[in-house]
Amino acid sequence: MTIPAALVFIPVGILFLVSGLIVNSIQLVFFIIVRPFSRSLYRRINKNVAELLWLQLIWLSDWWACIKINLYADAETLELIGKEHALVLSNHRSDIDWLIGWVMAQRAGCLGSSLAIMAKEAKYLPIIGWSMWFSDYIFLERSWAKDENTLKAGFKRLEDFPMTFWLALFVEGTRFTQEKLEAAQDYASIRSLPSPRNVLIPRTKGFVSAVSQIRSFVPAIYDCTFTVHNNQPTPTLLRMFSRQSSEVNLQMRRHKMSELPETDDGIAQWCQDLFITKDAQLEKYFTKNVFSDLDVHQINRPIKPLIVVIIWLCLLIYGGFKLFQWLSLVASWKIILLFVFFLVIATITMQVLVQTSESQRFTPAKRPLEEQLISLPECFAEVSLTHHDLACDMLRFNFCHPMDLSPMFHTFSIFLATYVVRHGPSFYSCSFEMEADGDVPVAAGQFAAGTTCIGSGAILLRLIQENPVQKKSWLMHERPTARNGAVLCYHYEHQDLMGMLYYI
């Protein structure tokens, strides 16, 4: 039965907020008291504590929305899941792929010890993100200069993990949308790769690092292919709150880690080939309604999530009753104010959780860079795109401009801020200075945007001019580590300005 999500938001939000804060507080206490002395004991305790929160989301899927999962797997995989460490590799098809993964981990008995490699923004999510941070999830900044060391340190910490764990990695880097598919197809066309139709092109650096670092103590990779059943609505958190059921198909194949190639290039190619196979499998399903040649198994819903939610609900009702008994001795307006405060906070918490799970609210695909250059300042006498390579996301422009460099640099700064970087709602501020070095002007400028840009974190554009008389080439500055950052380097030959704009 479908019901308005708003009617569920408030009671579930209050339950999730109160229980989540209790769980986070318990995690914090054990993090401070136990973890410095025994990381193994802390992890065992945290596994059970975290499940008290995460099982509520399992209840939402199993008992409230009644999401049906058709699992396709062979007998060996079914026998071993939950009994060994595993790297879980999946396509990222919907807004709740992560929740389906949690459902499967709960069935395997390792929900509290399930881990994932995620964007760093996730750890700031109220309640749920904090619990992930306490549970040793690995958070990345999407800057390889920083993430490489973060991954190595994170994988190193897993060597002595005291329980069976699953480490989830979505190598596509973002959730599947039509816009992102088109961007992936453009990239494949330029790189002469097979054009994807139902998956995105995997980003293999993280996968290569994972396999290289953990293959000595993680025996298997669980290759998961996920899709929504034909003619079924795509499940989202909002639809789940509305009690809209759906049916999903999940195929799990077990690959021995020892069978993967030894070289980095070989591992990367293995991952790319795997996603080509996934693409073909999904295409066959969408056109012929044949999903897998493996046996299908119905995933029954366990009673544990329901019991946990009932216990939390009883505690909340009892605590609320005692609280209102105490507040009845206080002025009535304070009771009303406290009640309204909890309603607002609970609603905001659930709204944040729902919105961050929506694929359209995450980083959009980069449009072909030519499309971003909609118009150019009139003062450029000639602008031509001479090189476009999406493999490194590089643009090279030839600019011809009158001899007076001062207005050119000023206009070029506005051009960069206004026309080249077109992501997010942030206002790009520009500071620019001109100095005279003999008869040659020397310019230095900096462009910066606020943290509201997509990917969060400051975006930095640097433009530094050196004396074109004394030096024929311009200094190449290293890329900034901020995501979506950009660096400009210039090469001067007479009146021609060569600019390369790198997107990270």
Q: Please give the average pLDDT of every successive group of 10 residues along the chain, which has 504 residues.
A: 62 86 96 96 97 96 93 94 96 90 95 94 90 96 87 94 95 88 87 90 93 96 94 86 91 96 95 96 94 91 95 91 72 68 73 66 42 33 31 31 37 36 31 34 33 24 31 28 31 29 27
Pick from 37, 3, 62: which is nearest to 309 by CA? 62
* Token output for 279: 């693409």
Do residue 148 and residue 25 come from a single domain?
yes
DSSP letter for each residue of 11-53? HHHHHHHHHHHHHHHHHHHHHHHTTTT-HHHHHHHHHHHHHHH
Domain assignment of residue 241, yes or no: yes
CA distances from 227 to 168, 371, 431 (A): 17, 31, 49
Go through 223-244 and write b for each residue having 16 or more CB atoms within 10 A of its CB, e for each that does not: bbbbbbbeebeebbbbbbbbbb
Domain assignment of residue 406, yes or no: yes
Q: What is the identity of the amino acid at 118?
A: M
Do residue 416 and residue 289 come from a single domain?
no
Domain assignment of residue 337, yes or no: no
Do residue 298 and residue 373 come from a single domain?
no
Give the helix ranges, DSSP H, for 289-303: none
β-bridge partners, 395: 388, 501
In angstroms, the CA 291 to CA 283 distance is 9
Q: Is 364 exposed, middle or buried (0-12, 13-18, 19+ CB in 10 A)?
A: middle
Write out the H or E segment, with its range, that includes residue 491. Answer: strand 486-493
Domain assignment of residue 251, yes or no: yes
Which of 284, 305, 326 corresponds to the end of one domain? 305
In sequence order, the 6+-apart residues with CB closer than 8 A to the CB of 317 are none
Task: Please give the order of strands across the beta sheet that includes 459-464.
Answer: 382-389, 394-400, 496-503, 486-493, 459-464, 440-449, 429-437
Cβ-contact 224, 168 below 8 angstroms? no
pLDDT in tens, 232-241: 888 888 888 8
In angstroms, the CA 54 to CA 51 distance is 5
In angstroms, the CA 180 to CA 346 distance is 33
Do residue 281 and residue 395 come from a single domain?
no
In angstroms, the CA 99 to CA 107 distance is 12
In angstroms, the CA 168 to CA 173 distance is 12
Do residue 433 and residue 289 come from a single domain?
no
Domain assignment of residue 326, yes or no: no
In angstroms, the CA 366 to CA 372 distance is 9
Q: Kindly give the pairing relationship between strand 114-119 and strand 138-140.
A: parallel
In the chain, the number of structural domains is 2
In angstroms, the CA 269 to CA 9 distance is 45
In angstroms, the CA 501 to CA 504 distance is 10
In angstroms, the CA 188 to CA 117 distance is 25
Do residue 287 and residue 432 come from a single domain?
no
pLDDT in tens, 77-96: 999 999 999 999 999 988 88
CA distances from 256 to 86, 217, 401 (A): 10, 12, 60
Domain assignment of residue 324, yes or no: no
Which of 267, 282, 305 corresponds to the end of one domain? 305
In angstroms, the CA 113 to CA 165 distance is 5
In angstroms, the CA 196 to CA 29 distance is 47
Rg (CA), the chain: 26
* Token output for 325: 């008994």
237 phi-psi bin (left φ>0, alpha ψ -120 to 50, beta other): alpha
In angstroms, the CA 452 to CA 455 distance is 8
Domain span at residue 165 reads: 5-305
Q: At what angle do helices 204-214 and 144-157 cross, to 10 degrees?
A: 30
Do residue 402 and residue 480 come from a single domain?
yes
255: CATH: 3.40.1130
Q: How many CA atoms lie within 13 A of 418 on its CB side?
A: 10
In angstroms, the CA 134 to CA 28 distance is 8
User: What is the SS3 assignment for 318?
Assistant: helix
pLDDT score at 290: 93
Domain assignment of residue 469, yes or no: yes
pLDDT score at 14: 82
Do residue 248 and residue 381 come from a single domain?
no
Domain assignment of residue 339, yes or no: no
Number of H helices and E strands in the chain, helices first, is 14, 15
Do residue 144 and residue 286 come from a single domain?
yes
Do residue 99 and residue 240 come from a single domain?
yes
Do residue 284 and residue 388 come from a single domain?
no
Which of 305, 320, 335 corresponds to the end of one domain? 305
CA distances from 415 to 152, 280, 283, 303, 493 (A): 40, 43, 43, 60, 21
Do residue 121 and residue 253 come from a single domain?
yes
CA distances from 303 to 12, 103, 404 (A): 19, 13, 76
